[in-house]
Amino acid sequence: MWGEAGKSLKRNLSNGVVNWGPGGTPTLVDIQRIGILRQLRLLTKATATFTAGASLALDTIGPFNLYRSLVLTPNQTAPIIRLTGLGAYLAMIMKMSETKAYAPDITGGANVHADPLTNVYSASRTTTNGDWRLYHDLYVSQFIQSLGVELGLWPLENPAVQLQLEYTPSSITQASPFSIDNKAAAGAAGTQPYFGDVTSDVTLTSPTIDVRRFLWEVPADANDDPPYTYINQWLEETPQGGNVNGANFIEWKCIPLSGVIQRVGIFVYDGGASLPVGDGVAETSLTAGNALTILYGADTQKTAETGQAAHARMQWELGITPPKGFFFWNLLGDQLTLSDVIDTYTTPEVRVDVNLNVALGAANSFAKVVRQMLVPIEIRGR
């Protein structure tokens, strides 16, 4: 049976290195029909050229917002993954306690003879011409310790299904050199990695994306296949109402009967913060005891925290404090069990509420929710 020694082996293979498609336009990449897919890693590489005018800096949520969207779908139907580049980065933060590894822009302890971090990640807060690299992870499966199995694995060799990655670069130019500078700070928060005055520019020459596949080999005996009864889905959404400019209350409602919530996080961006194009909302704007809450049914609180309490919990879980303005709940816990997940088939009206004691800026503010769900795709009768 699946999971026994010798039944299957892991493989780590490139799907092929390809040049970027047109800026601002979705480009499709067919995932090769080999093995059982666990995860994708998107390695981005380019040559950066900076032309600085009076003002040029990296956005406070850059550089992962280099991609406007990253979507993984079977046969262009309901997506397994639908995230922005920033949303994919936030998912990587949420998975840190499980992977036991830092997100790529976080420096931890290092061997004194190790290659420098820039060999893996060089798209930092730099304005120096040269090599520019970063990566995004997309998680297709989820291991559940209490079940002893990985759920969401995708059989790529199924002849009836073609899995496709769709990526959209956040460039205002269609071809190389791709411009990733929004030219002016006002109204452009979150749209591209760099911002500056109209005389500044940041371009990427000949950017490429290497889509790497983390796989299991297909067992020789079909009876040893893993269970294909669930999809592990990562989705990014905006709270109901969308526009949060000037808001002091934000609410997101999970779609009923949409699956089992494993992790959920909310990123709140304050367009009125002091930095040129705003910043993640500050802890000092979240002082009420119910500043960050998960509720269900008739306002039953599952968890209620101040910003300080949430930061203390997340730092204890991860070993680091997440990016400013991002708050999440790992319902799988450090043991990766289903004991505390939220089943939207049996739990009514699941919500995440943010109560701010200081209203967000009247322009350029936004919020986004990233949720990880288990969705059944096969229902067995009794």
Pair (230, 246) in one structural domain: no
Pair (174, 264) in one structural domain: no
Per-residue pLDDT, 109 = 64
pLDDT at 379 over 50: no
Over residues 131-150, the pLDDT tens digits come to 999 999 999 999 999 999 99
Pair (137, 1) in one structural domain: yes
* Per-range mean pLDDT, top range of 107-121, 167-181, 265-279: 167-181
Give percent of the chain above pLDDT 90: 67
CATH of the domain at 23: 2.70.9.30
The residue among 206, 236, 266 that closes a domain is 236
Pair (75, 155) in one structural domain: yes
Over residues 150-203, the pLDDT tens digits come to 999 999 988 888 999 999 999 988 999 999 987 665 445 567 888 877 788 899
The residue among 218, 236, 254 that closes a domain is 236
Pair (124, 180) in one structural domain: yes
Residue-number span of the structural domain to which 173 is assigned: 1-111+118-236
Per-residue pLDDT, 377 = 82
Pair (183, 45) in one structural domain: yes
Q: Residue 83: beta bridge partners?
A: 70
Give percent of the chain above pLDDT 70: 94
Over residues 3-58, the pLDDT tens digits come to 777 777 889 999 999 999 999 999 999 999 999 999 999 999 999 999 877 778 88
Pair (232, 243) in one structural domain: no
Over residues 342-356, the pLDDT tens digits come to 999 999 999 999 999
Pair (193, 248) in one structural domain: no
Per-residue pLDDT, 239 = 94
pLDDT at 335 over 70: yes
Pair (216, 124) in one structural domain: yes
Pair (225, 244) in one structural domain: no
Pair (191, 266) in one structural domain: no
The residue among 182, 208, 236 that closes a domain is 236
Of the pLDDT bands very low, low, confident and very high (cuts 50, 70, 90), residue 363 is: confident
More confident residue, 333 or 378: 333
Which pairing describes strands 230-237 and 81-83: parallel, antiparallel, or unpaired? Answer: parallel
Under 8 Å CB-to-CB from 337, ≥6 apart: which residues?
144, 145, 146
pTM (predicted TM-score): 0.94
268/7 Cα distance (integer angstroms): 45
**Which residue type occupies 275?**
L
CATH of the domain at 317: 2.60.120.20
Pair (299, 226) in one structural domain: no
Number of domains into which the chain is organized: 2
Over residues 84-94, the pLDDT tens digits come to 999 999 999 99
